[in-house]
Amino acid sequence: MMFSSVYLSKFGRMVLKSRDGESLSEAYFEGREVSESGKQGVLAEAEKWLDNYFMGKKVSPLDLPLDLSAGGSFSQWVWKRLCLIPYGKTATYGELAKEIAGERGLAKMSAQAIGGAVRRNPIAIIVPCHRVIGAKGNLTGYAGGLDLKKKLLQLEGSYRPEFFLPGAKKRR
């Protein structure tokens, strides 16, 4: 049975889902209707986590039981690594590729492979894919849109003047 609830964040409606009622399996911004099955268990925990996050409190993805089984083993590896990027910090796709290659005993790994896994992250905000940026501060790829990515980084205090949106000229 799938459990779901709708969370009203300061940046829009989010859908929270759990396959088993004990671990969070999806969190995303939505535009379609969803039927709620009740705000209890892990869904209530996730809403409290999001309340704290949007109040600017430094919460960790490790504070919630997460079900990251929706992806293959590589994606799961990347999503678990995303959970280790601290609140208020960012990492580049290249940095993650280098770290994960080392953890997996590989000589190297492409940043594009990391980007593909990051793009498939099923648990927005909580698994902080918004903290991953391009090598030179390019704010690329975010399912919720780049304006939202910028707002989330600003909320966390990690947005820097040298960051820029694709197509915009980089500040010098």
Q: Which residues are catalytic?
A: 129
Residue listed under structure tokens 């600017």: 56
Got the DSSP string for 35-91? Answer: ----S-HHHHHHHHHHHHHHTT----GGGS-B--TTS-HHHHHHHHHHTTSPTT--E
Cα–Cα dist 114/23, whole Å = 24
Copy the structure tokens of residue 123.
């648990």
What gap in Å lies between CA 127 and CA 106, rounded to an integer? Answer: 24
Do 97 and 132 meet the contact criterion of CB atoms below 8 Å apart? Answer: no
